[in-house]
Structure 1
Amino acid sequence: MTADWAGLASAFASPPSASRPWAFWFLNDDTPLPELLEQLDAFAEAGFGTVCPCARIGLSEEIGYLTPTWWEFMRAIVAHCAELGLRVVLYDEASYPSGAANGLVTQQNPEYASRCLRRASVEVDLAPEEVRYVRPQLGRSLWDRRVATVVTTASGRTLVTPEEGGLVRLTATDLGTGRVRVTSFFDAPSGGTIRGAHAWQDDGSALAPASADLMNPAAVAAFLHLTHDAYAQHLGTWFGSTIVAMFTDEPEAIGRHAHADAVSWTPGFEADLAAAAGASIEETLLHLEDVFDGGPWARTLEDAVGARVGRIYHAAQRAWCDAHGIALTGHPKRADEVEALASFTWPGQDVVWRWVLPGPTALHGDQSAAPRSAASAAILRRRADPTDVVPVVNEVYGAYGWQLSFDEMKWLADWLSVRGTTAFLVHALFASVRDNRAYESEPDVGLHHAWWPKLPTFLAYLARTSMLGEALTETPSVAVAVVGDRVPVDEVAPLYEHQIGFVYAPVSSLPGAGFSTVVCRPADADAVRAALPKGPVVIAEGDRWWEGLTPEGPRVASGKAADLRVRAGSLAGLAGVQLTNEGEDAIVVETAGAVWDPWTGQIVAAPPTWTLQRRASIWLTDAVPACATTLPDTCTPGPDVALSGWSTDHPDIAGLGDWTRTPPCERFAGTVTYRAAFELDAASDLLLDLGKVGDAASIRVNGEPVAASFWAPYRCRIATQATVAGENIVEVAVTNSMANRYEGALLPSGLLGPVRLNLAVPSA
């Protein structure tokens, strides 16, 4: 990270490797090693700074996972990354979720398989003086261990101890007449799996690898030995230099596709649950029925599971990584959980499956909490120790589908960044799209995508955004209290909409933390007031509960203020603020000092106001660095400049319009360059409006690049020095959606127009 002011400004146009995006690289075929090394060359040239190679569904059996050939490949990959100056983050599993070593943990010992709590009930009607025997059982498995048996009648619940064979004796004399339910709870194998490395190990396959019990210290130790120790043995030479971290991916105690009527469990877990509930073991066993119904006991169970996974799995990983001189990073299973984040050296989360998009999901629902929950973990640590400065990682774009566009990618990047993300793990770059691999958690955003030549422009934007984010020290005065393992979500939407900075803080960390205001959910008020009996507590309820909290950032001169997002703090010793337009309409803000534009890489002295178009994100500092330039005068479109002779470099595309309407091009996905001429009496400042574009355009004038316009509005300014008196040539290289090739989506493609070129007239 570049932390000093002068260095930050000088590195802004071309940030250092550590600030550049991470490539989540799927090794998903039998791709020859020389070809893989060539892909690494391309990643480095495009602007990635870190590579995370991952064994993924489709990996060939000839290569295998954790085999001698695998290690041969990994040694060559890491050595080549060292030559290229690329950092490496190791991935600790074959596909996901982590913790099973592609099934090797349970092969070593079947007792290490993930477990769950299941229930079996028998209901009977007791007649007067009747005696009945019942035997609640899950089936004939020899692996089920009874945890408790509860008899429920109209008068309440009672713990009982079955007789031999699990038989429970019921008598009307003891229980009364009427309906009686007998429920036995069993600690049983969950049946959970992971997605493995090979095609025959995917979800739904009988050969999918068994997940491991991440709440069992012996199972976790086996996992670390099979994976981490092996990585140290084969690649330890590069630990702490080229290899900087280990990535663990959404570990899940119960596994994927476990029994439907089941919750996470492990032998003896009733003691953990009792401690989390503040109850006795007997009371806890009487409430086992309630952990299945989604109520308070279910939430307590989730908290207890999170705490145990953190204590057993994440803490063991962190200790291993600390001992080997690398960071632990990755992300937990849920977007709104916080317990696991405490163990990550570099806290992280993920945004996948189109769960977050422009609109309601930006502010509401569990997934909307992901980036701020991870950033909060880092902010609180830095608040306690100013030298503890770490990246905040986010895996992004996974399974967003082939219709993912630069427009969505930019919105998501800004959505993450303004909430504190500083390291973007770009999901994913496929080693191969052969056969059905193109549809496995698509899209491939790498070499096989038509937009690959344009990707470096976007990666440079992510790098500049990350560099500034890493240098920013956030000191929010508002804490949002976290009681349990889940952060408040919907309650914080007004804070975003009113530009009020905040940090999520566990209630245990609040005493003495010095926050001016603590916000909490109504249900958490008692716990927060108990921790802060004299504290400034605001309950997030009612229509205007946030009034009185101080907003951050500049005044909005016009536009929808509720769409403006702000992240503020100290940027290399100066006041700094990030402004992001999360909506669809322009927002005008009052500015002073300097404007840092990560999209262009330029720093300019701020004008009195700045218009944030849709998909715009800028940074402001209260001082102007020496390298800053002066922003050209604002201007408006003047007289039209005629464009003539539109042509393209594609034999089937004659000119402007949607090329999917031309039968030979219905499924064409790629780049077409449009070319037109215009005449000027003298070199002039111009405004170009491309109209509609499907999807991303790069613009050249007289052979020189002048702009990249990857989302609406597709407008740019052409500086006087780019033009000449007489004939000029404008070229617009348009790349469309890969969904047309892979899905036959027939999305409008090409330069659709209307295209207008105007002389730029200075504004009055």
Structure 2
Amino acid sequence: MSIAPLLWHHGEDPETIVREIEAIASSGIRAFVLEPRPHPDYLGPRYWSDVDVVLAAARERDLKVWFFDDGRFPSGWVSGRVSERPDLVKRHLAAHRLDVQGPRAGASVSAKHWLPDGITLHAVVAVRRDSVDTIDSDTLVDLTASVVDGVLYWDVPPGRWRIAVLTEGDRGLEDETAEYLNPIAEGAAAFQLAVVHEAHRERYGADFGGLISGFFQDEPRFGNGTGYEFQFGQPAEVRDGNPRDYVLPFSPALWARLVKQWGADARRRLPLLWWDGEPELTAQTRYTFMDEATRLYAEFQRELGQWCDDAGVQMIGHVVEDNGAHTRLGWGAGHYFRALNGQHMGGIDLVQHVQPGVIDGRRVGTFGRYDDEFYYWGLAKLASSAAHIDPRKAGRAMCEAFGAYGWHLGLRLMKQLTDHLAVRGVNFLVPHAFSPRTWDPDCPPHFYNGGLNPQWPHFPVWREYADRLCSELSGGTHHNDAMVLYHAEAEWAGEAMPFQRVLQVLMQAQRDAHVVPIDSLAAVKPELLIVPYAQRIPPELAETILALDIRTIFVDAVPQAFSGAAAAELMSRLTDHVDVVPLSDLAQLFTAAAWTPSEPQPWLRILRYDEKAFLVNESITETVDTWLTLPALEGHPVRTDLLASAEWTPELSGDRVRLRLGPSESCLLTWRPAALPDLPVRVARADLPQDGWTVSTRAYSDSKFRPVALTSLGPANTPERLAGFAGTIRYERLTDLTDVTAIDLGEAGETAELVVDGESLGVRIAHPYLFSVPHTHRRPVTLTVDVTTTLAPVAADNSYDAYVTLDPTGLIGPVTLFH
């Protein structure tokens, strides 16, 4: 059981919600995640009544159910009840600046403007300014004791000074989560569990671990501001042409930890969280803040996960990873691996992020500017790495996939994205989404859409493919060539190369690597650790490398300094121990290894799992045709096409295997005790004419095919043909299949079913559109090809479809007969 789609629940009537559950079950899916989006009476009588209906329908159909862990997105709202505990509402530390020129004896400054109701004074610190936003760390002075009734009394020394009024309160910069739970407050997890989890256990505890699998957590965050790109020292936003300083997540528990780290200097250090001072002190201050905040976040998560363990259920989900937010504040949770502490799977979200063939750079989409280097090379590896590094996750890597792609997402793109995820180690999918609202405008597509999605009859083909693929890549060992250090700690303290840049070089050379955080190094002790360039690293990293004698490569250069106090000789000892390799040369470390192609294949990806390999050509235009060096394994290699359920012995030459994959094609290579027959040699006999076809259409909302004035193959969505048509286009002709063993439809838009004299030869949802022809069909027959579009031609007027090009529809061809 490796697929559990989101089932949205808005408070629909029982008949409607049961209809949607029946659709899920009819596709062969055996589980779903029940998501209030939102429910109008979450945790109230109507909610429980509705959930009773859902569980009864699931039980009748032998489906497992996951509960969302809150009443709306994102997690942390706690059913709107956090206001009952003011001490648990999100709190923030803000810095307000006042720049003054000294000397000025007997000066006073009122801080009352920054102290409205609910906001308290935390500290007042003054520091000499070197420039507009650079401060002299040596002059930091704590003036908090000189504040009386909200007024600072101070003799300003000569020079330019900045007075930082630091306030604490519940006013952050993300209005949507203003009254959310503070995950780094003491008692936060207990409150969340008491309000949401215990309420579900009280009513449904007897089904925990059986009918009910667990809870799904969706994008919890610090939420001190909006956006993915938070960086210390930069304004959070610009309003009315003026920069506005960010606020930081805060709590008494965090302050206690900072005081323990900084001692008497604690308040004096705070301005360095906003303005640059002496480089090393600034870096160490920011690193310590992030380190302690994310450790507190991890403790919050651990408590939630422990409750689930004790209750016999699991906790899964993901944080905001977008554009590298997984290492940052704002919409992020600061540290991906710590934020998933307590969860039972690695988890990510693939929402409009990956477009086949787009591997780097920036592009604009519905949710802003996308960092394609991260999405393509890094995102999925976060989930699979967490799955294999953390024992409680047991190799399970989850992705909430396909949401917000728009109505142009059909089964072909779903197959491409499934391959993208699987070859990076993801083996549990949460498809987004099933909505009981027909034509729901909320983040389409919706797979069933009241039965109006024309590709819905073929949805089980994708489901069966994805289920089998995830099953093949579960419960075993994901082999890798190295581990790449997670870069969060380095980014907190200075310039840092993101881990995905290293992964790109390795993956384009058919090498694989897990991403490993510093916290896990001692437990996993990698044979080879690759550290992306970092201006500074924590001294703990150097100490671990040396203590465990880990073979380590630093990319491009060794660090310049540490982000914390370290022994004087530590850097020199580290430098003597490690090697430095330029990023562009990393792949050369593995040229003699198995799975090396006979020539460079930058589009070929290989996942090695137990004694099998999953291979994907991620090019949308080029064919991979190469010889791969095989590992020394017992048995005979067998190539399996999971989509067509076909397998054969590939062409071999000594210890090498011939691999040919068309654009976006994939296969599984396994070893069997006995060899299978070779793939029959197919010789192209002829292409069928592009003209002379009988064409009819069945619109997505219609039940009958109706003739149209077309007789030729080619793109159908053109102004002079079938522009604006969504549904199934049928092509028919009388064809002599004497000696024909296979038919290739060429290009189709987008799912295709081939029927010969009324007998279906199968459905293809993606390339190649190749069908085997049984020996019974050798006389002239009626050849029928049904090509089904997505709903985009009639529903693309939305922000989700606005940033993509739509593929041609219909049967484009050429249709080739093989003997």
How would you bin the TM-score normalised by the shorter chain? 0.7 to 0.9
- Aligned-pair Cα RMSD in Å: 3.1
Residue 688 of structure 1 pairs with residue 741 of structure 2: no
When the two structures are superposed, what TM-score results if normalisation uses the length of structure 1?
0.84
CA contact (8 A) 1:480 1:504 kept: yes
Distance 2:614 2:770 in 1: 23
1:391 is matched with which residue?
396
Displacement of 1:630 in angstroms is 3.1
Distance 1:722 1:217 in 2: 73
1:9 is matched with which residue?
none
SS in 2 for 1:378: helix
Distance 1:253 1:545 in 2: 36
Displacement of 1:130 in angstroms is 2.6
Q: 1:144 aligns with which of 103, 119, 129?
A: 119
Deviating more after overlay: 30-39 vs 659-668:
659-668
Tell me the amino acid that sits aligned with residue 311 of structure 1.
Answer: E
Displacement of 1:629 in angstroms is 5.4
- State how 1:680-759 maps to structure 2 within 5 Å: 680=737, 682=738, 684-691=740-747, 693-711=748-766, 713=767, 715-721=769-775, 723-743=777-797, 747=806, 750-758=809-817
User: 1:622 and 1:601, CA in 2 relative to 1: closer, same or farther beyond 3 A?
Assistant: same
User: 1:356 and 1:304, CA in 2 relative to 1: closer, same or farther beyond 3 A?
Assistant: farther
% identity of equivalent residues: 18
Displacement of 1:634 in angstroms is 2.9
CA contact (8 A) 1:683 1:725 kept: no
CA contact (8 A) 1:707 1:716 kept: no
1:3 is matched with which residue?
none
User: 1:191 and 1:153, CA in 2 relative to 1: closer, same or farther beyond 3 A?
Assistant: closer
- State how 1:645-664 maps to structure 2 within 5 Å: 645-649=693-697, 650-651=705-706, 653-655=708-710, 656-661=713-718
Displacement of 1:271 in angstroms is 3.3
Residues 426-447 of structure 1, C-alpha deviation per residue, up to 9 Å, x if partnerless?
A: 011111135xxx3212222334
User: 1:131 and 1:71, CA in 2 relative to 1: closer, same or farther beyond 3 A?
Assistant: same
SS in 1 for 2:337: coil
Displacement of 1:652 in angstroms is 6.3
CA contact (8 A) 2:714 2:813 kept: no
2:641 is matched with which residue?
597
Distance 1:553 1:393 in 2: 29
Q: 1:669 aligns with which of 726, 730, 734?
A: 726
SS in 1 for 2:585: coil
Structure number with higher relative contact order (C-alpha < 8 Å, ≥ 6 residues apart): 1
Tell me the amino acid that sits aligned with residue 150 of structure 1.
Answer: V
User: 1:639 and 1:669, CA in 2 relative to 1: closer, same or farther beyond 3 A?
Assistant: closer
SS in 2 for 1:561: coil
1:95 is matched with which residue?
72
CA contact (8 A) 1:52 1:91 kept: yes
Displacement of 1:93 in angstroms is 1.4
Residue 618 of structure 1 pairs with residue 667 of structure 2: yes
CA contact (8 A) 2:510 2:596 kept: no
User: 1:528 and 1:126, CA in 2 relative to 1: closer, same or farther beyond 3 A?
Assistant: closer
- State how 1:410-425 maps to structure 2 within 5 Å: 410-425=415-430
CA contact (8 A) 1:583 1:614 kept: yes
1:235 is matched with which residue?
204
2:438 is matched with which residue?
433
- State how 1:516-595 maps to structure 2 within 5 Å: 516-523=527-534, 527-533=540-546, 534-541=549-556, 542=582, 543-549=584-590, 554-557=595-598, 561-570=601-610, 575-584=611-620, 585-590=622-627, 593-595=637-639
Tell me the amino acid that sits aligned with residue 710 of structure 1.
Answer: I
1:325 is matched with which residue?
312
1:285 is matched with which residue?
267
Displacement of 1:494 in angstroms is 1.0
What residue ranges of structure 1 are gaps of 5+ in the alignment?
A: 1-17, 195-202
CA contact (8 A) 1:211 1:255 kept: no
Tell me the amino acid that sits aligned with residue 740 of structure 1.
Answer: V
Displacement of 1:257 in angstroms is 5.1
User: 1:268 and 1:168, CA in 2 relative to 1: closer, same or farther beyond 3 A?
Assistant: farther
1:506 is matched with which residue?
517
CA contact (8 A) 1:482 1:504 kept: yes
SS in 2 for 1:728: strand
Residues 205-249 of structure 1, C-alpha deviation per residue, up to 9 Å, x if partnerless?
A: xxx883221212334322221211111112212111111121111
SS in 2 for 1:360: coil
User: 1:683 and 1:55, CA in 2 relative to 1: closer, same or farther beyond 3 A?
Assistant: same
CA contact (8 A) 1:701 1:722 kept: no
- State how 1:345-356 maps to structure 2 within 5 Å: 345-354=344-353
Q: 2:61 aligns with which of 84, 87, 90?
A: 84
Residues 316-364 of structure 1, C-alpha deviation per residue, up to 9 Å, x if partnerless?
A: 2112101110011111233642112232122211111436653224972
Distance 2:480 2:472 in 1: 17
- State how 1:155-174 maps to structure 2 within 5 Å: 156-161=139-144, 162-172=146-156
CA contact (8 A) 2:745 2:814 kept: yes
Displacement of 1:157 in angstroms is 1.3
CA contact (8 A) 1:351 1:398 kept: yes
CA contact (8 A) 1:540 1:546 kept: no
Distance 1:544 1:228 in 2: 51
Distance 1:720 1:400 in 2: 38
Distance 2:253 2:726 in 1: 57
2:232 is matched with which residue?
none
SS in 2 for 1:697: strand
2:279 is matched with which residue?
none
Q: 1:457 aligns with which of 457, 461, 467?
A: 461
Distance 1:500 1:588 in 2: 18
Displacement of 1:421 in angstroms is 0.7
SS in 1 for 2:651: coil
User: 1:639 and 1:95, CA in 2 relative to 1: closer, same or farther beyond 3 A?
Assistant: same
Residues 620-679 of structure 1, C-alpha deviation per residue, up to 9 Å, x if partnerless?
A: 122257xx8535323231234558442214436333455444689644322232222212
Residues 512-544 of structure 1, C-alpha deviation per residue, up to 9 Å, x if partnerless?
A: 744221111232666543212233111122231
Tell me the amino acid that sits aligned with residue 535 of structure 1.
Answer: I
Distance 1:710 1:99 in 2: 39
